[in-house]
A and B are shown apart, each in its own frame.
Chain A
Amino acid sequence: MASEKTHVRTTLNGEATEYLCETNQSLLEVLRDVLLLTGTKEGCNDGNCGACTVNMDGRIVDSCLVLGVEAEGAEILTIEGVATPEGLHPIQQAFLENAALQCGICTPGFIIASKALLEKEPNPSEARIRHWLAGNLCRCTGYDKIVKAVVAAANTIGGKK
């Protein structure tokens, strides 16, 4: 039954955002069904696929495991906030140039997670990339081209292209 809604204030993709949500709604539901930001995908709703990955206060989280009310005061980055009016982010460009997506449903989660990695560690090894992204499932690509795209993006960002 519809319960009392909570008023939540966050910073979403750099902009002050307010919403009303029920206490049992996850952040993923709020993003997708309340704010209609459907770039963040749902693959399992139980924390096991990474399709719903968003960045919350500098850490990547599965937004299906975060409650909407927990985002009070938080800074959240979703896939919709990655590109700028000037163009795609180097990671987005690298995913396209390396054909790192087939169906593309996993892609937003991978991009958000990869971005967090490269901001922490600009030159990750293949093993490190595989470790960092192990929580993001892709059923189409076999991951090969995703790993290569992240390496390519690291090189672009580091000016080594």
Chain B
Amino acid sequence: MTTSDKKKYKVIGTTPIRHDGADKVTGRAVYGIDFHTTGMLWGKILRSPHAHAKIKSIDATKALALPGVHAVVTGKDMAVARDIEVEAGETSLNYMHLSDNVMARDKALYKGHAVAAVAADTQHIAEEALGLIEVDYEVLTPVLNGREGMKSDAPLIHPDQTTKIMAFRFDPGTDSGEKSNIAGKSQLKLGDIDAGFKEADFIVEREYTTSWVHQGYIEAQNATAHWNNDDNITVWNSSQGTFNQRQLMAEILKHPVSQIKMVPMEIGGGFGGKIPVYLEIPAAMLSKKTGHPVKMTMTRTEVFEGTGPASAAQMKAKVGATKDGRITAAYAELVFEAGAFPGSAVGAGAQGMFTTYNIENVLIDGYDVVVNKPKSAAYRSPGTPQACFPAEAVIDELAELVGMDPLDFRMKNAAKEGDRRADGVQHPEMGNLECMEALKASDHYKSDLGGPNRGRGVASGYWGNAGMPASCSIAINADGTVSLAEGSPDIGGSRTSIAMMCAEAFGIAAEDVHPSIKDTDSIGYQGLTAGSSTTLRNGWAVFEVTNQAIELIKARAARLWETEPENVDFADGVFFSKAEKELKLTFKEMTGKLMETGGPISVAASVAPRGAGPSFTTHMVDVEVDPETGKVEILRYTAAQDVGTMIHPDYVEGQVQGGAVQGIGWALNEEYFFSDKGAMLNASYLDYRVPTMLDLPMIDTILVEHANPDHPFGVRGVAEISVVPPLGALANAIYAAVGVRMRDLPMAPHKIVKALQEKNGKTK
């Protein structure tokens, strides 16, 4: 379902077949894992079996003696990278930490941490060689929980690490001077929290935990690198940002950016997980040593153990409201396990927490704590699913205490334009309340649950979205078509959305624009395919190049009509003379006259847009809980989201549905099981178990098109936020169904059974 006030576009808002469609349904599209080149060797990574251990020595003699093995590299072969932090889209990265994460130097900091890499003729030989590399470890006590790690007597993972105290997100901060596993402490503060709680008639305070979860993209990490004899490095991989990775490669390898070319292959999912570099570095080092291109891919187990999942969190939330249902104060403490290196998404989580509500007094303390687990990475609205879970669960309890319908309670407190977020920033124009109202007016809301042990839950969510730079170039063809080059890896249809915006601007069909995604040597700088920013920023880039092209073509028309360019205008795909009405030529007709009026036209531009419209959403879910087994069946699901102006509504809806299902997995069954030594015990799809088709109903959507006033086509980021509400919505629905408040994710059947037993025991 779509709500839309105006339809002023011809191409935008339609649903053409994607430009890369035929390649992707016939198997011809070449993904990173599919790349192949002549003379290619295969690389494999040796990983630490211990969660925390000193690496005393590595002996690769036997591995190197194995026929078919070409080279081995270790952390000792790498220079120490600069210890500086850089903003990378929605999280930040530190070059030194990233380098140490790519390959351990002195200490292995989690089970699965890379310690050596080998290149061989085949994958099987490379695997065999791994078993012949001898590593002498001194096993250390691991730190496996955020709150434990915060204690002053906890073993220090990075012995020199002190705590950075930050007043806001991305604040350079001040140094506490005290050695600690707490890498960062941040605080968001608005109003007077004590005064706010004094005003409240009801206060609910609870504790919550979430587990480590993985993005679960189906295509594993991969990279093929060739270090040429002229010291130019080429990497073919699937990443969420070629330019960002080029910079990371340059820093870690200490190699000039100009001598690194990143070639974006098709990418099989990322969700934030394919922002950092992993295999790119050892593949390049092995290529340098061997003179061959080296291809590396991860196994699924390596993906789980050796890449960046989303942090587990231990959280407290306390919210107060008056008798008439006004929220007066909200407090939270968020402890995020960063993994082996600092940099969890706790700051982003704090920024998203309580943000759908207008609350005058807010205090959120965030802790970024290192533990001996994989280094966390971005995962769709990083940090926010975790933080919004306690917020939405506590608010649900408050609504019950106040005696209000949970949706009415949210609507009464909904943040509107001009209200302040906890970090003091005022909300721009957006559709928060519209989503809630649309849900209230839906058939779903009006429907009967129709049976025992069934319940309905709602939850809201916020995500700020990002801007980031973009570049685009177009060449106008004589037949009225346009070749469009851009540089954002297309993770879910973005080349079609940019082509559609281009077509809209010129008044031609989407099919007449031919988009392609270029390597870092062939197009201007491009931000990450992350932060829900791709279509937003590409829209700005294409707006720029099409405007410039239109001006150039106007001048050609003026030449034809023997007048001045300012006497020519362009509207609805037609160039016309302002003075003489009969002088007009369509875009297509004009393109056929470019050669005779001065030659071909192409335009390139780079932009750095701000004004990413924030996302707001509310989800509603009906469940049935089997009291015997604790199994939760999802009966009906509706996601209402402010999506701005939709370029391609089907792909917008797909983002909403896909994120909701990832959130459902996070809520109900996904988790890393760790042994008491820090080993992940379920590092396969079978045991980790992402939702299958059988676990789900259709995901209904209500797409509220509240155009972003700060964008030429009204675009707002749409891709991430839908993962946020399912955690709270499902917890609230389970309570409504069987009367137990589940505060520890995932809400697996055995936990629900236990909670029911406790509840029944108590009431007996």
Task: Give B651-669 as 1s and 0s: 1 = Cβ < 8 Å from A's Cβ atoms.
Answer: 1011101111110000000
* Residues of chain B lying within 8 A (CB to CB) of residue A24: 124
Which one of A29, A51, A139 has the greatest number of beta carbons of chain B within 10 Å?
A139
**Interface flag for A123 (CB, 8 Å):** no
- Contact residue among B34, B650, B661, B684 (Cβ-Cβ distance under 8 Å from A44): B684
| Distance between Cα atoms of A138 and B34 in the complex (Å) | 18
Beyond A48-B684, A82-B26, whether A99 also contacts B654 by CB under 8 A is yes
* Residues of chain B lying within 8 A (CB to CB) of residue A37: 27
| Distance between Cα atoms of A46 and B692 in the complex (Å) | 16
**Interface flag for B269 (CB, 8 Å):** yes
| Distance between Cα atoms of A95 and B53 in the complex (Å) | 49
**Interface flag for A9 (CB, 8 Å):** no
| Distance between Cα atoms of A130 and B699 in the complex (Å) | 14
**Interface flag for A118 (CB, 8 Å):** no
| Distance between Cα atoms of A33 and B17 in the complex (Å) | 31
Which one of B33, B270, B658 has the greatest number of beta carbons of chain A within 10 Å?
B658
- Nearest Cβ in chain B — how far from A10, in angstroms? 18
* Residues of chain A lying within 8 A (CB to CB) of residue B17: 96-97
Q: Which residues 9-64 in A have Cβ within 8 Å of B in the complex?
A: 22, 24-25, 29, 32-33, 36-49, 51
Q: Which residues 24-56 in B have Cβ within 8 Å of A in the complex?
A: 24-31, 33-34, 36
**Interface flag for A102 (CB, 8 Å):** yes
**Interface flag for B216 (CB, 8 Å):** yes
- Contact residue among B26, B271, B661 (Cβ-Cβ distance under 8 Å from A143): B661
In the complex, residue of chain B having the shortest beta-carbon distance to the beta carbon of A49? B685
**Interface flag for B427 (CB, 8 Å):** no
| Distance between Cα atoms of A135 and B685 in the complex (Å) | 11
- Nearest Cβ in chain B — how far from A36, in angstroms? 6
Q: Do the beta carbons of A111 and B25 come within 8 Å of each other?
A: yes
In the complex, residue of chain A having the shortest beta-carbon distance to the beta carbon of B662? A139
| Distance between Cα atoms of A44 and B684 in the complex (Å) | 8
Beyond A39-B27, A80-B27, whether A147 also contacts B698 by CB under 8 A is yes
* Residues of chain A lying within 8 A (CB to CB) of residue B560: none
**Interface flag for A133 (CB, 8 Å):** yes
| Distance between Cα atoms of A78 and B31 in the complex (Å) | 17
Q: Which residues 492-506 in B have Cβ within 8 Å of A in the complex?
A: 492-493
In the complex, residue of chain A having the shortest beta-carbon distance to the beta carbon of B121? A2
Q: Do the beta carbons of B31 and A41 come within 8 Å of each other?
A: yes
Beyond A38-B36, A102-B492, A103-B267, whether A138 also contacts B685 by CB under 8 A is no
- Contact residue among B25, B68, B696 (Cβ-Cβ distance under 8 Å from A101): B25
**Interface flag for B259 (CB, 8 Å):** no
**Interface flag for A4 (CB, 8 Å):** no
* Residues of chain B lying within 8 A (CB to CB) of residue A157: none
Q: Which one, B217-225, B242-250, B435-443, B453-461, is touching chain A?
A: B217-225
* Residues of chain B lying within 8 A (CB to CB) of residue A101: 21, 24-25
| Distance between Cα atoms of A136 and B22 in the complex (Å) | 21
Beyond A38-B34, A137-B690, A139-B662, whether A95 also contacts B25 by CB under 8 A is yes
Task: Give B196-238 as 1s and 0s: 1 = Cβ < 8 Å from A's Cβ atoms.
Answer: 0000000000000000000111111000000000000000000
* Residues of chain A lying within 8 A (CB to CB) of residue B28: 39, 80
**Interface flag for B299 (CB, 8 Å):** yes
- Nearest Cβ in chain A — how far from B398, in angstroms? 30
- Nearest Cβ in chain A — how far from B138, in angstroms? 33
**Interface flag for B66 (CB, 8 Å):** yes
Q: Do the beta carbons of A46 and B684 come within 8 Å of each other?
A: yes
**Interface flag for B266 (CB, 8 Å):** yes
| Distance between Cα atoms of A93 and B728 in the complex (Å) | 38
Q: Which residues 65-79 in A have Cβ within 8 Å of B in the complex?
A: 78-79
Which one of B31, B67, B267, B662 has the greatest number of beta carbons of chain A within 10 Å?
B31
| Distance between Cα atoms of A88 and B685 in the complex (Å) | 31
Q: Which residues 132-152 in A have Cβ within 8 Å of B in the complex?
A: 133-147
Q: Do the beta carbons of A96 and B685 come within 8 Å of each other?
A: no
**Interface flag for A158 (CB, 8 Å):** no
**Interface flag for B155 (CB, 8 Å):** no
Q: Do the beta carbons of A43 and B30 come within 8 Å of each other?
A: no
Q: Do the beta carbons of A1 and B128 come within 8 Å of each other?
A: yes
* Residues of chain B lying within 8 A (CB to CB) of residue A88: 22, 25-26
- Contact residue among A41, A48, A103 (Cβ-Cβ distance under 8 Å from B491): A103
Q: How large is the interface on B (under 10, 10 to 19, 20 to 34, 35 or more residues)?
A: 35 or more
* Residues of chain A lying within 8 A (CB to CB) of residue B30: 38
**Interface flag for B125 (CB, 8 Å):** yes
Q: Which residues 120-163 in B have Cβ within 8 Å of A in the complex?
A: 121-125, 128
Beyond A102-B492, A136-B693, whether A78 also contacts B27 by CB under 8 A is yes
**Interface flag for B18 (CB, 8 Å):** yes
**Interface flag for B268 (CB, 8 Å):** yes
Q: Do the beta carbons of B658 and A44 come within 8 Å of each other?
A: no
In the complex, residue of chain B having the shortest beta-carbon distance to the beta carbon of A109? B218
Q: How large is the interface on A (under 10, 10 to 19, 20 to 34, 35 or more residues)?
A: 35 or more
* Residues of chain B lying within 8 A (CB to CB) of residue A42: 33, 220, 297
* Residues of chain A lying within 8 A (CB to CB) of residue B36: 33, 36, 38
* Residues of chain B lying within 8 A (CB to CB) of residue A140: 269, 492, 654, 658
Q: Do the beta carbons of A103 and B699 come within 8 Å of each other?
A: no
Q: Do the beta carbons of A139 and B693 come within 8 Å of each other?
A: no
In the complex, residue of chain A having the shortest beta-carbon distance to the beta carbon of B650? A99
Q: Do the beta carbons of B124 and A99 come within 8 Å of each other?
A: no
Q: Do the beta carbons of B696 and A41 come within 8 Å of each other?
A: no
* Residues of chain A lying within 8 A (CB to CB) of residue B216: 139
**Interface flag for A131 (CB, 8 Å):** yes
**Interface flag for B169 (CB, 8 Å):** no
Beyond A142-B658, A143-B696, whether A43 also contacts B300 by CB under 8 A is yes
Q: Which residues 73-121 in B have Cβ within 8 Å of A in the complex?
A: 121
In the complex, residue of chain B having the shortest beta-carbon distance to the beta carbon of A132? B693
**Interface flag for B686 (CB, 8 Å):** yes
Which one of B26, B34, B271, B693 has the greatest number of beta carbons of chain A within 10 Å?
B693
- Nearest Cβ in chain A — how far from B714, in angstroms? 21
| Distance between Cα atoms of A45 and B683 in the complex (Å) | 13
Beyond A1-B125, A95-B25, A139-B662, whether A145 also contacts B219 by CB under 8 A is no
Q: Do the beta carbons of A48 and B685 come within 8 Å of each other?
A: yes
In the complex, residue of chain A having the shortest beta-carbon distance to the beta carbon of B698? A144
Beyond A138-B218, A139-B216, A142-B658, whether A2 also contacts B684 by CB under 8 A is no
**Interface flag for A116 (CB, 8 Å):** no
Beyond A32-B34, A140-B492, whether A41 also contacts B218 by CB under 8 A is yes
* Residues of chain B lying within 8 A (CB to CB) of residue A102: 269, 491-493, 651, 654-655, 658
In the complex, residue of chain B having the shortest beta-carbon distance to the beta carbon of A47? B686
Q: Do the beta carbons of B217 and A147 come within 8 Å of each other?
A: no
| Distance between Cα atoms of A89 and B27 in the complex (Å) | 13
- Nearest Cβ in chain A — how far from B499, in angstroms? 15
- Contact residue among B27, B128, B269 (Cβ-Cβ distance under 8 Å from A103): B269
Q: Do the beta carbons of A145 and B128 come within 8 Å of each other?
A: no
Q: Which 9 pairs across A and B sit closest by C-beta, in order of nearness? A: A39-B27, A105-B268, A142-B661, A99-B650, A38-B34, A79-B27, A104-B24, A142-B657, A102-B492
Known: A39-B27, A92-B25, A139-B690. 8 other contacts (CB 8 A): A1-B68, A25-B124, A33-B36, A43-B268, A48-B685, A105-B217, A137-B218, A138-B693
A/B interface sample: 30 pairs, CB < 8 A: A1-B67, A24-B124, A41-B31, A41-B33, A41-B218, A41-B268, A43-B685, A46-B300, A48-B300, A48-B685, A80-B26, A80-B27, A88-B25, A96-B22, A99-B650, A102-B492, A102-B654, A102-B655, A103-B217, A103-B267, A104-B24, A104-B266, A105-B31, A105-B266, A137-B690, A140-B654, A141-B658, A142-B659, A143-B661, A143-B693
